[in-house]
Chains A and B, each alone.
Chain A
C-alpha cells in the first residue's frame, strides 16, 4: 500500500477523531459557501484573480525587479535566496548582525518549507511561533496538519493537557477561553523579549514595494511593532502588480480560507519604523524551475487559502499529516511531486477526482485535472509499482478485445457465484475489506441482448 493510503488508514483507526475532523472542516467549507454566496460577482472575481496571476507569472522577473527597486527606495533591505539553505543563512545573518537571541515568527508556510525553525534552533536561537495553532504544534514538535488551521487535528482536551505540561495551566481544564488566555500571557512575554520578528507574506505589491500580511490574531503586528528588526519572507510567486489587484485577492482569500469577509488584520508594511530595520527576503527554492514546466505552471497561482483542503472529502477524513508534505491536501498533491517526484508519487492517487477542489479554488487552479495528468506522468516516468503496471497492461488487453472481455467477464461471474466465500474474500481482495462484491448475475447485458434483441 502506498504511503498516503497507509497513513490515512492509521488515522482512520480512530474513527471518532476522523469524524470530528471531517465535521470541523466541513463547517469551515459551509462558512465559505455562505461568505462567497454574499458576493454576487464571486465567479467573476475568481476568473479575474486567475488572470492576474497568469499575467504575473508570465512577467515575474519584471515585477520582482520593480518591487525591489521601490522597496530599496523606501529604505527596505531586499535579499534574494535561491534555495532553502541560502534563505536560512540570510535569516541567520540578519539575526547575528543584531546579536539577537530571541525571535518571534508569525505564520509562514515558506519558513516551514525551508526548515527555518530547526535550522535556527541548531544555531542557538530561540524561535517562537506566535500563531496559536502554530504554537500548539511547535510545543508538540510536529508539523502543521493544515496550512490555515495548523492544529485542526487536535481536540481541545489534548491542547489542555499540552498546556498543563508546557504552560502549567490547571490540570484537566480545557476551556478554550482559559487556554487562549494562558497562551496570550505566554506569548506576550515572547513578543516583548524578541529582538527580531519574522513574518510570511501573503501578497507583495510591485508598484509600491509593500508586503501584505493577513492574520486573525494580530500576531504579525505584535511582533513587528515590538521588535527592532522585521523580516518578511516571500516566495517569488507572492508578487502582484498593483495595489488595486489587492482588492481582488483580499476579497477572495479570507472568504475562501475561513468564511470571513476579511481577516481580522490585513497589515501593509512598506517602510522600516523609525530606528528600525525592515528586511524582505525573496525566495525561489525551486519555483522558477517549476514555472518552466508548462503542464504544472498553473499550480504556482496558489494563494494558500486552504479551501481545497476543507472541501476535499479525502483530506477531511485522512488528516493533513497523512500527506507527509508541508502543503498537504489536493494542492499539495500536485505541488509536492514537482520537485520530489519519486518520493511523492503516491499523492496524485490520494484523490477520488471528485473535482470539488477545482471549484472552490479562488484562483481557478484545475487541481483535479492536474492530479489526473500527474498520474499519467508518473506512469510515463516508470514510477508506478510493477504489480500496478502489469495488471494495467493485462486490463488493457482484456478491455480492447470483445472476445477476451466477454470470456473473462463470464469466468469472473461464474467464479464469484461458485467459489467459497473464504477464497473470494482473502487478503488480496482489497475491495472486500469493507465492502461486499456485487452479486453476479447469470447473464451479462450483452448475453441478454444477444438472446432477446438480436
Chain B
C-alpha cells in the first residue's frame, strides 16, 4: 500500500442519487477508506456532478452545477467517489469550463473508488470476506470511459482493476457472464426518454446474471444497479444488488 497517500487530503464525493437513495453505499465507501487509514472529509455543500443535465443536452445549464462541484472539491489532493459515471463526467466533460488551476486540479484528481484503490493507494489486502456467488456488471462509463478494464471490443491485453480487487475478497465466487460487458440500459436520462428499450436491456442483463447463478449483482455504479433493482423488485426476482464498496467493505458475514 502506498502510505504516502495517508498524508493527503481526501474529499469524498457522494453523487446525488446515492446521497438521497443509497446512503448505505456512501457509508460503506467512507468505512472502507477509513479502514485503510485515510483521513476523509465530506464537503457538505456538494450536490451533483451535473451529468443528468449534460446528458440531456443541457451542458450550458449545468455550468453552475459544475462550478459548485469545483468550489467544493478543489482544496483536496484526491477526490474519491463510488461512481465511475460521475467521475468520468467530471474528468471528461468539465472541459467546457474555463480551465483555471482549480478546474484542472479537480478534473485530474477525481477518482472512481476502485481506480483510487488500485492506482493510487495500491492496496494489497483489505481484509474483505464475502462468501457469495457474485456477478460483476461492468458499468460502461467506468469500463470504457475510465478504462477500469479492457472492454470486449478492443483487441488488446486484458486487464481489470475491478476484478483485481474482487479477486482479493475471501470466499467470493465470481461468476462468468455470457456477455461480459453489455450495457444494462440505464444510460442516465436514456432510462426516461427510451423506457421500453431501457427496461428490455435491463431484463436481459439480469437474465444473464440469473442463468449463470449469481446471488448478488455488483457494479462500480449504483445507477446501473438502481435500474436493475427497479426491474428485479417489479418482477419479484430473487437476485440482489450491492454496490462494490459494500462488498469490499464487508469483513465478516
Assess whether A396 is in contact with B46, with CB atoms less than 8 Å apart.
no
Assess whether A438 is in contact with B229, with CB atoms less than 8 Å apart.
yes
The complex places the Cα of A410 from the Cα of B93 at a distance, in Å, of 29
Asked if A304 is at the interface of the complex by the 8 Å CB criterion, the answer is: no
- Please give, as numbers and ranges, the residues of chain A lying within 8 Å of B229 by CB-CB distance: 436, 438
Asked if B152 is at the interface of the complex by the 8 Å CB criterion, the answer is: yes
- Please give, as numbers and ranges, the residues of chain A lying within 8 Å of B187 by CB-CB distance: 351-354
Assess whether B230 is in contact with A352, with CB atoms less than 8 Å apart.
no
Assess whether B58 is in contact with A396, with CB atoms less than 8 Å apart.
yes
The complex places the Cα of A8 from the Cα of B57 at a distance, in Å, of 21
- Please give, as numbers and ranges, the residues of chain B lying within 8 Å of A43 by CB-CB distance: 154-156
The complex places the Cα of A396 from the Cα of B54 at a distance, in Å, of 10
The closest CB in chain B to the CB of A4 belongs to B194
Assess whether A399 is in contact with B151, with CB atoms less than 8 Å apart.
no
Assess whether B57 is in contact with A379, with CB atoms less than 8 Å apart.
yes
- Distance (Å) between the CB of B43 and the closest chain A CB? 10
Asked if B253 is at the interface of the complex by the 8 Å CB criterion, the answer is: no
The complex places the Cα of A311 from the Cα of B187 at a distance, in Å, of 16
Assess whether A400 is in contact with B68, with CB atoms less than 8 Å apart.
yes
Asked if A395 is at the interface of the complex by the 8 Å CB criterion, the answer is: yes
The closest CB in chain A to the CB of B67 belongs to A400
Binary CB contact string for chain B from 198 to 230 against chain A (1 if under 8 A, 0 otherwise)? 111110100000000000000000000011011
Asked if A286 is at the interface of the complex by the 8 Å CB criterion, the answer is: no
- Distance (Å) between the CB of B62 and the closest chain A CB? 6
The complex places the Cα of A392 from the Cα of B18 at a distance, in Å, of 20
Binary CB contact string for chain B from 126 to 161 against chain A (1 if under 8 A, 0 otherwise)? 000000000000001100110000011111100000
- Distance (Å) between the CB of B182 and the closest chain A CB? 6
- Please give, as numbers and ranges, the residues of chain B lying within 8 Å of A399 by CB-CB distance: 16, 47-48, 50, 52-53, 62, 65, 68
Assess whether B179 is in contact with A405, with CB atoms less than 8 Å apart.
no
Within 8 A of A (CB), among B151-185: 151-156, 179, 181-183, 185
A36 and B65 in contact, given A355-B140, A375-B55 (Cβ under 8 angstroms) = no
- Please give, as numbers and ranges, the residues of chain A lying within 8 Å of B20 by CB-CB distance: 409, 412-413, 440, 444
Asked if B233 is at the interface of the complex by the 8 Å CB criterion, the answer is: yes
The complex places the Cα of A441 from the Cα of B25 at a distance, in Å, of 12
Assess whether B234 is in contact with A353, with CB atoms less than 8 Å apart.
no
Assess whether B27 is in contact with A448, with CB atoms less than 8 Å apart.
yes
The complex places the Cα of A43 from the Cα of B157 at a distance, in Å, of 11
- Please give, as numbers and ranges, the residues of chain A lying within 8 Å of B185 by CB-CB distance: 313, 352
- Distance (Å) between the CB of A219 and the closest chain B CB? 31
Asked if B77 is at the interface of the complex by the 8 Å CB criterion, the answer is: no
Assess whether B191 is in contact with A431, with CB atoms less than 8 Å apart.
yes
Assess whether B151 is in contact with A359, with CB atoms less than 8 Å apart.
yes
Asked if B102 is at the interface of the complex by the 8 Å CB criterion, the answer is: no
The closest CB in chain A to the CB of B15 belongs to A445
The closest CB in chain A to the CB of B228 belongs to A435
- Please give, as numbers and ranges, the residues of chain A lying within 8 Å of B55 by CB-CB distance: 353, 372, 375
Binary CB contact string for chain B from 92 to 104 against chain A (1 if under 8 A, 0 otherwise)? 0100000000000
- Please give, as numbers and ranges, the residues of chain A lying within 8 Å of B27 by CB-CB distance: 445, 448
Assess whether B192 is in contact with A430, with CB atoms less than 8 Å apart.
yes
Asked if B231 is at the interface of the complex by the 8 Å CB criterion, the answer is: yes
- A40, A430, A434: most-surrounded residue (chain B CB, <10 A): A434
The closest CB in chain B to the CB of A314 belongs to B197
Asked if A20 is at the interface of the complex by the 8 Å CB criterion, the answer is: no
Give how many A residues have a beta carbon under 8 Å from the other chain's beta carbons.
Answer: 75
Within 8 A of A (CB), among B41-73: 42, 44-48, 50, 52-62, 64-65, 67-68
- Distance (Å) between the CB of A36 and the closest chain B CB? 5
- Please give, as numbers and ranges, the residues of chain A lying within 8 Å of B57 by CB-CB distance: 375-379, 384, 388, 392
- Please give, as numbers and ranges, the residues of chain A lying within 8 Å of B145 by CB-CB distance: 355
Assess whether A392 is in contact with B199, with CB atoms less than 8 Å apart.
no
Assess whether A350 is in contact with B194, with CB atoms less than 8 Å apart.
yes
Partner of B153, one of A311, A388, A433: A311
- Distance (Å) between the CB of B224 and the closest chain A CB? 10
- Please give, as numbers and ranges, the residues of chain B lying within 8 Å of A8 by CB-CB distance: 194, 196-197
Asked if A317 is at the interface of the complex by the 8 Å CB criterion, the answer is: yes
- Please give, as numbers and ranges, the residues of chain A lying within 8 Å of B156 by CB-CB distance: 43
A388 and B195 in contact, given A431-B230, A438-B22, A444-B23 (Cβ under 8 angstroms) = no
The complex places the Cα of A358 from the Cα of B140 at a distance, in Å, of 12
Assess whether A317 is in contact with B200, with CB atoms less than 8 Å apart.
yes
Assess whether A352 is in contact with B201, with CB atoms less than 8 Å apart.
yes
Asked if B84 is at the interface of the complex by the 8 Å CB criterion, the answer is: no
Within 8 A of B (CB), among A215-238: none
- Please give, as numbers and ranges, the residues of chain A lying within 8 Å of B59 by CB-CB distance: 376, 379
Within 8 A of B (CB), among A399-454: 399-402, 405, 409, 412-413, 430-431, 433-441, 443-450, 453-454
The complex places the Cα of A8 from the Cα of B200 at a distance, in Å, of 11
The complex places the Cα of A413 from the Cα of B16 at a distance, in Å, of 13
Assess whether B144 is in contact with A402, with CB atoms less than 8 Å apart.
no
Assess whether B62 is in contact with A352, with CB atoms less than 8 Å apart.
no
Binary CB contact string for chain A from 1 to 20 against chain B (1 if under 8 A, 0 otherwise)? 01011001100100000100
- Please give, as numbers and ranges, the residues of chain B lying within 8 Å of A384 by CB-CB distance: 56-57
Assess whether B23 is in contact with A443, with CB atoms less than 8 Å apart.
yes
Asked if A80 is at the interface of the complex by the 8 Å CB criterion, the answer is: no
Query: What are the 3 tightest A-B residue pairs by CB atom distance, in nearest-first order?
Result: A352-B187, A435-B230, A434-B199
Interfacial residues, chain A to chain B (CB-CB below 8 A):
2, 4-5, 8-9, 12, 18, 22, 26, 33, 36-37, 39-40, 42-43, 311, 313-314, 317-318, 349-356, 358-360, 372, 375-380, 384, 388-389, 392-393, 395-396, 399-402, 405, 409, 412-413, 430-431, 433-441, 443-450, 453-454
Q: List 17 A-B contacts (CB under 8 A).
A: A5-B194, A33-B153, A37-B155, A39-B155, A311-B153, A313-B183, A314-B194, A317-B200, A353-B140, A353-B187, A375-B57, A396-B64, A409-B16, A431-B191, A433-B195, A433-B199, A447-B23
Q: A359-B144, A402-B45 are in contact. List 14 more A-B contacts (CB 8 A).
A: A8-B197, A9-B195, A33-B153, A40-B155, A313-B182, A352-B140, A355-B144, A392-B56, A396-B61, A399-B48, A402-B47, A409-B16, A446-B19, A449-B26
